[in-house]
Amino acid sequence: MQQHRFQHVAETFRNRFGQPPKAAIILGSGVGGLKDCLTEPESIGYREAGLPEMSVQGHEGSVTVGLLGGTSVVMLSGRKHSYEGDALQDVVCGVRAMAAWGVETLVMTSAVGSLSKDLRPGTLVRVTDHINLMGINPLVGPNISELGPRFPDMSQAYDPQLGQQAESVATELGIPMERGVYAAVRGPSFETPAEVRMLHMLGAAVVGMSVVPETIAAVHAGVRVLTIAIVSNEGTGLSDVAPDHDAVTETVGRAAVNLVPIIEKLVSQW
């Protein structure tokens, strides 16, 4: 039987790094500095690993294994997005490879736009649920039974226990963290003012162009998910400032100063 791409990547991870680490961390736009906190790091590029390469500014495209707070982790610096035109199987290849390798916990970061003026740029938001408006799902097509069931339960896609642990750590460190629902749109254009109003009416707190395909793939494979988003900009129409990708990356980079210690302390408890 022909192997899927993610299985080849998992074999590469296993041969290069050995036993799977306790957690995987996907670093979104502007959060690459978390990698500098690793001790005993060992890295390979996405091409060497067999992963789809990056095409978006702010996404480095490397796999690094090391110790974070004394706990073994693997960090993926950058992610593929559906709007890049690649197959959705490429978008979730890294998540599936880590699951096949044996990683049981996934931590994701993401830059998001706020859908109300209550969430200012730089705010950390623990994602509690999502609304998939991308029109796509990584589970479409023949089910990969070695990963998970045909109809996976998504009622607790963002693990409540992990979320509570993250909030407790944030409280201990004196760093504010909000909760909210993530609305996923395909992009790459930013939302219109009417779309921002609609998403807010649907009950979402933030909007982004990633996270959800990876979450679905992870939950399907039995991997626990924690996602902490950083508000990079106010949604279109909420301010006079037009959204801009460079400004998004800059804002997230500044806010990552608060996110990095939360993730480091949280992971050290695992």
* Domain boundary assignment for the chain: 5-268
User: Could you give the CA distance from residue 148 to residue 17 in angstroms, rounded to a whole number?
Assistant: 25
Residue 240: pLDDT band (50, 70, 90) is confident
| CA–CA gap between residue 178 and residue 118 (Å, rounded) | 10
Residue 86: per-residue pLDDT: 79
Place 112 in a pLDDT band, splitting at 50, 70 and 90: very high
Stretch 200-218: mean pLDDT: 97
Q: Residue 43: left (phi > 0), alpha (psi -120 to 50), or beta? A: beta
Give percent of the chain with pLDDT exceeding 70: 94
Q: Which candidate, 143, 152, 53, 133, places its Cα nearest to that of 94?
A: 53
Query: Is residue 198 helix, strand or coil?
Result: helix
Residue 113 to residue 118: CA distance in whole angstroms:
12
Domain 5-268 sits in CATH at 3.40.50.1580
Q: Which helix (H) or strand (E) holds 17?
A: helix 5-17
Closest CA to 215 of 261, 186, 182, 167: 182
pLDDT of res. 30: 67
Q: Distance (Å, rounded) from C-alpha 186 to C-alpha 190?
A: 10
270/264 Cα distance (integer angstroms): 11
